[in-house]
Structure formats: C-alpha cells, structure tokens
Chain A
Amino acid sequence: MKPLLTLLAACGILFAVPSLPVYRDSLENGLVVLTYEDHSVPAVSMRLVSRSGATLDPGGRSGTANLTARLLLDGTAFRSAEEITETIEFLGIRRNAGSGYDFSYSELMTLSEYLDTALTLLAEAARSASFPESEFERERALTLTRARRDWDRPNTVVEADFDRLLFGDQHPYTRDECGDTADLPGLTPDDVRSFHAAHWHPGNCFLIIVGAVEREDLLGRVRSLFGDWPASARVERPTVPGFDFPPGIRARAITRPEMSQSYVIMGHPGLSVFDTDLQAARLMSFVLGGSAIASRLGESVRVEGGLAYDVRCWFDRLALPGAFRATVQTADPAEAIRRIRYEIRRMHESGPTERETETARNYFTGSFPLGYSSTSGKLRELTFAEAYGFGPGWLEEFPRVIGELTREDLAAAARTRLCPDDMLIVVVGPLTRDRLGLDDTAWLEE
C-alpha cells in the first residue's frame, strides 16, 4: 500500500527539494521530520502526526484516535495538565489537534522565541502523555456535545444515513471521525492510553515544522528531544471488508415537516487516494460539480435554475475506497435531483470538453500554491503528502501531474467512475417521497 513510503523510511533518504525550502529527514528511530522554512513572520508551527486515525479505532470505541490526539498535550509523566497549560497560555502558544480516518495529529504554534519550550512539550507529550482522568472527562464531554450538536445540522443526518446505506454498518466510514455519540460515553482513559502506546511511536509518526527555522539548527534540536524516543512494533492495519452496492436507483426519504428546505445527497462507490486515476477523477468531478457557480451542476441548478445556494460533488480522498457524492440543499428537490442526474449521465457518456479540461488544469495548477501560502495550508498539504506517500516533492510535482492530464483521461475517469444507473439517494426535508419525482426508484424504508 505504501511502497514508496516504506522505501523512504528504510533508506533514510534525504530529499532536498530544489526551489521550495521543504526538507524530509529521518531520525535513526524512524521518525520522519518535514521542515518548511518560512521567515515571513517570527513564528513556528509544529505538528506531530500519527499515521493512525479513526479507521483504526477499536470496534465500538470510535473516537479513540481523536481523543488520543486531542489529549496528547494534557499531562505527561513530567508535568501536570495544569502546568502545561500554564506554560503555553502564558507564552501565548496556541494548540490544536485533529484527526481524520487515516491520521491524527497534535500541534503547537509559537512565537519563534519559545520554539524550544514548545518543542520540548511536544516531545514529552509524544513519549509520555499520561491522559489523566479529569482531562479525559473534560475532553470527552466536549467532543460528545459537539457530536450531538452535529446532529442538529440536517446535513449530518443525511450524510450519516447515506454512509450507512452505502458502506454497511461495520465499515469504518460509517463512524464519525471524532467519535459516535453512541460510543463516546463508553470510552475510558485506558482506551486512549493503549491507542497511544500502539500508534504513537517514531515508526508510525512524522513531525512537520513550518516557520522561521533553519533546517540544520532545527534538526539538532529535534534529534536531542526525539532521538531517543524508542521505536516500536509496526502497526497492523486490519483489512476492511469490501461492501456490496446493488445496481439500480435506491432512495430513502426522511420526512421532517418542520424544515423549510430539503437536504439531498446522492452517489455511489468512488475510489481510493492510491488509485492511479485519482487526479483525473478529481478534475472530472471538478468540471461536473467543483463549485456552486462555475461547474455543470452549478450552472444548471444554481445559475440557470435558481434552485439552490450550494450544489457540488466530489470523490472522497481516503486510503480505503470511499464514495462519489453530490449534495444540494433546496426547496425543490425533485427538480434539483433531476438536473443533477442528467448532468452526471451527460458527463458519464461524453466526458468534459477540451475547454473544460483546460480550465480544470489551469485551476488546479494555478491555485495549488495559494493553498499552501499560509502556515495552516503548509501543514495541511505536507500532512497529506506524507500520510499518503506522495513525498515532500509533492508540492512541486503536483502541477506536473495535473499538467499531463488530457481530456481523454478525464473522460475515461467519467466512464469508469460515474455510474448514473446505480445510485443511492437520501433526502431529508419537508416533502414526502411521492413529491420527489423519483418514479424509477426502489424505496428504502426509514
């Protein structure tokens, strides 16, 4: 799955990218260090990423990976949570943590002045986070409330239902990346402690540093703080069963009379981030529904039809194959669904035009640097590149990969990756199913 990555880690090859000051180094214990020098403001951000995310949450214990990352800096073998907070808040250091299906991370952002303090705290936390009970309770309550609040948004309802119908109950993608409301109350500090022990070690982590640093100097500091972090066994990645997707159009309507608008999601199985036609499929879906205005769906549903504020479609970009989804929120779901289905079919049958392809290429290559002009953007792109094995040269390689895609590549992706005849549609809103204009549909009961 990650041959390139394994190779890099094994050889400890040092990649120096010629024009962008991005460097990838490996410590002896396997920890990969990515450095992006940027001296525009006197600040440094550091993110420690574990290559394990919600996909690896133990069964019935979703939220473990997320809570582990979020609590990493709340107490270590050497300092209480209170002491850490006292230090970082007094110095104006900001913390952040997050997780996805394929990785989880914890980060600090500091004025350059306090780089050592921040790096020391992060190293200590990586190695000896203690996950005290009281902090665990606090963070779990916060996460649980947020998860519950999510269910107030109709899009959560519709997405969750879609995922469950598409992937089946057991698939990791039916879990909330941050933890399900059903699982979170049952988690204990021991769950995060064992997740930390199994998934946060140098062979399964990488460190990204962005900001006003010099690589050589920085590596010295990193080595002294992380160098003796002991390596540990490789993480076993259990195989996830595939899922069946029956042919034909299936739909479910969840009627909520109090709503003033219907939320629609429709789609079918998509692809994995490792698939070779990933970028072709992305560009194709961009032409189809990459923006609520400048795309075929936007043109038809919003600009011409005035049916919705937002309409778009995309392919999930994750390690395991995900979904292709199109979404819209509208008072006239019947017409919007009709138009979206029409456009998907048209794209499937004849692909994009030469001009659309050109626009998509220009957009992806031209706007890519804008995405990493900020510190948070640099962290995001480097996390993605490293987690999926695209390498530190990705920031510069990407435009080349995109530039080589042709209209035929996109049309091929449309032919193989869009399935207008096999579609799952979920609608949450005030209308009953007979008013959704879906006559060719097998209805799934609520």
Chain B
Amino acid sequence: MKGPKRAALLLLCVQALGWAGIAERITDYELANGLRVIIYVDSSAPVVATHVWYRVGSYYEPVGRTGISHMTEHMVFKRSPAWPPDGFSQLVQEHGGQSNGFTSTWYSGYFEVFAADRWELALKLEAARMHACIFLDEDFIPEREVVSEEWRLSDNQPTRRLWTDFFATAFQANPQRNPTIGWSDDIRNYTRSAVEEWYRTWYNPANAVLVIAGDVRPDKVRTLVAKHFGRLRGKPVPKVDFYDIEPDQRGARRVEVRMRTSAPALLIGYRMPGRRDTVGYNAAAVTAAVLGDGRLSRLHRRLVVETRLATSVNVWPTAQRDPGLLMLMITPNNEESIPAIERVVTEEIARLAEEPVEERELERVRNGLVANEVFARDNAGRVAYLIASYWALTDDWREFDRELERTRRIGTDEVMAFARDWLRPEFQTVGALLPPQTEAR
C-alpha cells in the first residue's frame, strides 16, 4: 500500500526541501532580556532582511480597544530618537531599502530589506522602535483619522464586509471574531495614552523575535545585535490564551451581506481544531486540498466542471493557532445557484466521512502541499517571514519542519476521521454576499 512511488516521494521531499540544510544555516539564541534572535544565512544575493515581530494583534485586545494593535503599528513609524519625525520611510528610502509593518490577529511585524553593506541601520531602527517610540497628540490625532479612513476603505468593499460578518458570526467568544482593524467606534475612541500604554506593554524584548536573513556572518551579527538590543530591558509579558474559550457549536449559522454587488460570493466554514491537536490540524490541511485545491479537487470538478454552478472554488484551513475554520470560498454563477451549491458541498463532505480517499488522490494532494512549501522558500525574505510567523504562532520555528512531517503522515484514516468529527452540519457557518433586496413594502 505504501508502494515505491510513495517512498520516492518522501525521499524527494527531504532532498527538495532541504530543511535540514536550512536548519544548518540557522543560529538561534536568546538575549538576557528575553529577545529571541534567529540568524539565517543565505548568500545568494547581497541583501539582508531584518524582521522584528511582536506577539500582539487583535487576539490580544479587550472589547472597546479592538484594533489598538493596528493603531499602535501606525504610531511606531512616527517618532523616535533614531529617525526624524515622520521620517522613518524617507530614511529607509535614502538607504535604498524597503520596509513595512503589518498587523494580524496574532502578531505585529516589521521588516527592512537592505543591501548587505548597510543593513545595520535596520537594527538601529528596530531597536528604537522596540523601546523608544514617542507618542504625541499632534501625531496621534491625524493618524487616528488615517486609520478611520482605512476602516472606511474596507467597509465599502463588499467582500471585506462579508469576511468581517462571517467571522463575527462563526465565532462567539474567541477574539479571532474581531476584525484586525477594530470596530469603528473603538477606533474613534482611541486615546494617545491608551495606545502608548499598549505599546509599553507589548513592545518588549521578552515578547519579540528578531530574524536576520541573508548575506551575513553570524558572529558579526551577534556583536551588532548585542550592541543595539543588549541594553533594552525585558518586562513581564501578560498571558493571553483563549484556546478553549469557544463554546461548541450546536447548529448551522448563516449570515447575509446585502450590498451593491454584481457577483455574489459564498463562504462556508466548518469548525476545525487548533494546532494543539496535531493530528486533526494537519488532517484539515489535507482534507481541504482534497476538496478544493486545484482543478482535480472534488469540489472544483463537481461545481465548476460538471454542474457549472460556480466559477471558482477554494478550500483552505484558516486556523493558525487556536481552533478555527476550514474555509470554502465559492464564486457562484448567480444567486440562484447557491442552494444547489450548498447541496453539492454537503454531499461531498458526507462522502469524505463515509468513503476512504484513494491513495492516488492523497498522493497528489500531498505532492501539491510539499511543492508549495518548496516554492515558498525561494528567497531569504520569505524564509525570514516563515521563521517569524512560526515563532509567533507556536513559539518555536522548528515547528515548521515538524508540521510538514505531520502532514506527510496524514493518510486515508485520518482524513475520514477528521471529516466525521468536524465537518458536521451543525459545525457549519455560511456567509453570502448578495445584491440588496428589492422586497416590496
């Protein structure tokens, strides 16, 4: 049953991924103040990517302060002793670098990419960002308006609204339900002092990872890191964990968004386990691919090719840490196809729980997942991103390696068990984007 082809594939994976090789190129240590430092050497281009990520995002926010991590991200570009007021981006540009920041449910991250001869600037900037940002009302008030405009931008996009409403319905308690940008009234109510307090709490070496990836020598890097970050003080990090907070779902849920739209959209989510369920979590990835990755996937065949009820189907697991959702995103041909699409989805999901997936089909799916991993590592910047995200989500970048191994171990039985336990009608949430109703009144 595990024929030569499978064996060849495993061999291929090991060679192709060469993750062992990547691991060898990693230096991983912690400063006394708690800052985790990971150096990844890749000399294929004379470029160095520097990432600093903090474990703070919308997951960590209390009601009334949703989106404050994102607001903080905006403010930490404003003012510090290391760059002229509002001059962060200019400074990076003058050195021919690129930089950005981003906030998600789980983390806030910053990076700079510089030519290898001048990358130390990134350390200087990020060290300042970590402890020395200055919060003034004159910066804060207009920036809050900027964030309000950013919120409006997404509020006017029907599919963004659909995602927001969908998550807010699918989750009752887990803070994943809140939009990263926050609820609009919270944005209006931010105060400078609240943002500053948020910054002082979470921007803290003990709550951060520093990843340096590219054309560097670790011994030199260590000295520079010590110079810039060694003197920062680590503070206690509040513990935030809602892993088990979400109550069991007892029945299907449905949310409609009616907005001016010319193409309806359909989201279907099923509860899926979080990373602590090592088998279920990876079984979800494989199951998702069987259902909707590529044109040979079951739902693509049935919905797009055979019945033409839909023009596209995507299925992927969205849980990053806590239990989350296995998502189906479907573009129906028109509003009227939606009930038929839902019936097909229900049938295919029931089939997964009843019939074992054939070995050949599983092999295809696993090959696709493995190939994706290889493609995802084609430059130092992306490797740095992956390392930082694994640190933020699992506390250990080596999970990256283990995860792939676990995915490879998912077989027919695991997929069937996953489908039976999790892909149940009462664990389903459906979201539909539809044109406004023209109900006669």
A touches B (Cβ under 8 A): yes
**A residues adjacent to B (C-beta < 8 A):** 38-43, 85-86, 89-94, 109-113, 134, 137-138, 141-142, 144-146, 148-149, 151-154, 181, 256, 258-261, 291, 293-294, 299, 302-310, 329-331, 358-360, 362-367, 369-370, 373-375
Given contacts A307-B145, A373-B45, contact A109 B375 (CB under 8 A): yes
**B residues adjacent to A (C-beta < 8 A):** 12, 15-16, 18, 42, 44-47, 77, 86-90, 93-98, 113-115, 141-150, 152-153, 155-159, 259-263, 265, 294-296, 304-305, 308, 311-312, 331, 333, 363-364, 367-372, 374-375, 377-382
What's the minimum C-beta distance from A386 to chain B, rounded to whole angstroms? 21
What's the minimum C-beta distance from A445 to chain B, rounded to whole angstroms? 21
Cβ-defined contact, B142 with A367, below 8 A: no
Cβ-defined contact, A137 with B89, below 8 A: no
Given contacts A41-B374, A90-B363, A111-B16, contact A141 B308 (CB under 8 A): yes
Residues of A within 8 Å of B263, CB to CB, are: 145-146, 148-149, 152
Given contacts A141-B311, A145-B333, A260-B156, contact A111 B374 (CB under 8 A): yes
* Residue of A whose beta carbon sits closest to that of B141: A306
In the bound complex, CA of A31 to CA of B423 (Å): 51
Cβ-defined contact, A293 with B311, below 8 A: no
Of A113, A151, A261, A294, which is within 8 A of B16 by CB?
Answer: A113
In the bound complex, CA of A377 to CA of B146 (Å): 31
Of all A-B residue pairs in the complex, the 3 with the closest CB atoms, nearest first, are A366-B96, A306-B142, A92-B371
Interchain residue pairs with CB less than 8 A apart (22): A38-B44, A38-B378, A41-B378, A85-B296, A86-B296, A111-B16, A145-B333, A146-B311, A148-B263, A152-B260, A303-B142, A306-B145, A310-B150, A358-B94, A359-B94, A362-B95, A366-B97, A366-B114, A366-B115, A367-B113, A373-B380, A375-B375
Residues of B within 8 Å of A307, CB to CB, are: 145-146, 149
What's the minimum C-beta distance from A94 to chain B, rounded to whole angstroms? 7
Cβ-defined contact, A141 with B333, below 8 A: yes
Given contacts A43-B378, A90-B364, contact A152 B159 (CB under 8 A): yes
Of B45, B311, B372, B378, which is within 8 A of A145 by CB?
Answer: B311
Cβ-defined contact, B378 with A40, below 8 A: yes
Given contacts A260-B156, A306-B144, contact A43 B375 (CB under 8 A): yes
In the bound complex, CA of A187 to CA of B302 (Å): 24
* Residue of A whose beta carbon sits closest to that of B331: A145
Of B45, B146, B305, which is within 8 A of A306 by CB?
Answer: B146
Cβ-defined contact, B114 with A304, below 8 A: no
Cβ-defined contact, A329 with B260, below 8 A: no
What's the minimum C-beta distance from A216 to chain B, rounded to whole angstroms? 21
What's the minimum C-beta distance from B366 to chain A, rounded to whole angstroms? 9
In the bound complex, CA of A112 to CA of B378 (Å): 13
Residues of B within 8 Å of A40, CB to CB, are: 42, 44, 378-379
What's the minimum C-beta distance from B192 to chain A, rounded to whole angstroms? 14
Residues of B within 8 Å of A358, CB to CB, are: 94
In the bound complex, CA of A360 to CA of B156 (Å): 33
Cβ-defined contact, B94 with A329, below 8 A: no
Residues of A within 8 Å of B113, CB to CB, are: 367, 370, 373
Cβ-defined contact, A363 with B96, below 8 A: yes
Interface centre among B96, B157, B159, B363 (most CB of A within 10 A): B96
Cβ-defined contact, B260 with A89, below 8 A: no
What's the minimum C-beta distance from A366 to chain B, rounded to whole angstroms? 1
Residues of A within 8 Å of B114, CB to CB, are: 366
Residues of A within 8 Å of B370, CB to CB, are: 92
Residues of B within 8 Å of A90, CB to CB, are: 363-364, 367
